[in-house]
Amino acid sequence: MQNAAPLATLAARKRRVSPMRRQETLLAALLILPSTLGILAFAVLPIAASLGISLTDWGGLSKPNFVGLQNYATALQDPRATSALSHTLIYVLLAVPTGLAISLTLAVWINNLKAGWLRTVFRTVYYLPMVTIGVAVALLWQVLLAPQGLVNLILGWLGVHGPNWLGSPSWVLPAVAVFSVWQGSGQGIILFLASLASVPKDLYEAAQLDGAKPFEAFRYITLPMISPTVFLVLVLSLIGALQVFEAVLVLSNGGPGDSSTTVALYIYKTAFTFFKMGYASALAWLLAIILIGLMVVQWRNQSKWVNYDQV
């Protein structure tokens, strides 16, 4: 009898769920079902498996032995893991802001062109680096970034003595960042252009009448209007940069020494060259925890600068 009261409230609460609500839930379930099923089966399940594997000494073939948190303890004291992490963070700091700034600037410039055909031409050109196949492009860039390669030739015209990009521990990460920005900004440009096009033109006209300078118009109209896209590109490039793998593998193979060995590359070698799948999974989870932490911060901070639904 004691429980009667709470039960009654629960029933009342249940009854309060409007048919409208129920219809919404049903529709939502229908809409997310295919995608969620796929994600559960082919992402969440393997991810859970990798969490389990990270608690074992599994090499990839034999029966795994449970080792508890030992892999995590090892990782925290592994000097190669910490140096891989610092290379990754340096790369993130180099590549993410530069990539964001360059793709946004280029998109705004292209968007400001009056002639439609020019917009089409430049949009296509800046999209091109995305289409090439990794290995071929990396071979090209090894030639371009050589000490007497094209990049240094151009720097020479500007009076700068270019470094030995891929052969020097201090320049190899900037070199990889240059390559990634070249290859990756097309994605940002396309997203920004689509977003810029949806900013209503009359807002600019009103601002112009009020005597706003072009930069002010950009700062107070464009940027807030496209802030959801800025957030999107920021998050996507953060995720990509923290997991940077192919660019370092093909450009420098982690060298010279281990100076461009990033976490993802170290994970890869640990799993497939050193046969320590358990340890590799632990490293992957530590990277993921950093990534998830960063995401949570970004997500929380959104309310300060990202505007949804302004119109």
- Type of residue numbered 270: T
Could you say which residues in the range 60-79 bind other proteins, by CB under 8 A? 60-62
Tell me which residue of 121, 43, 112 sits closest to 288, measured CA to CA: 43
CB of 293 to other proteins, least distance (A): 10
**Segment near other proteins (CB under 8 A); pick from 3-11, 33-41, 64-72, 91-99:** 33-41
Tokens of 11: 């029933």
Tell me which residue of 268, 277, 271 sits closest to 55, measured CA to CA: 277
Kindly state whether residue 36 participates in binding other proteins, applying the rule CB under 8 A. yes
Tokens of 284: 């992957």
Helix (H) or strand (E) holding 217: helix 214-217
**3-class secondary structure, 65:** coil
Kindly state whether residue 198 participates in binding other proteins, applying the rule CB under 8 A. yes
CA of 74: how far to CAs of 71, 80, 257, 281, in Å?
5, 11, 22, 12
Integer Cα distance of 63 and 59 in angstroms: 8
**Segment near other proteins (CB under 8 A); pick from 2-10, 85-93, 215-223, 248-256:** 248-256
Kindly state whether residue 277 participates in binding other proteins, applying the rule CB under 8 A. yes
Kindly state whether residue 256 participates in binding other proteins, applying the rule CB under 8 A. yes
Q: Which string of x and - marks every residue 84-123 that binds other proteins (by CB under 8 A)?
A: ----------------------x--xx-xxx---x-x-xx
Nearer to other proteins, 40 or 93 (CB): 40
CB of 231 to other proteins, least distance (A): 7
Total residues contacting other proteins (rule CB under 8 A)? 123
Kindly state whether residue 193 participates in binding other proteins, applying the rule CB under 8 A. yes
Nearer to other proteins, 118 or 206 (CB): 118
Integer Cα distance of 263 and 277 in angstroms: 15
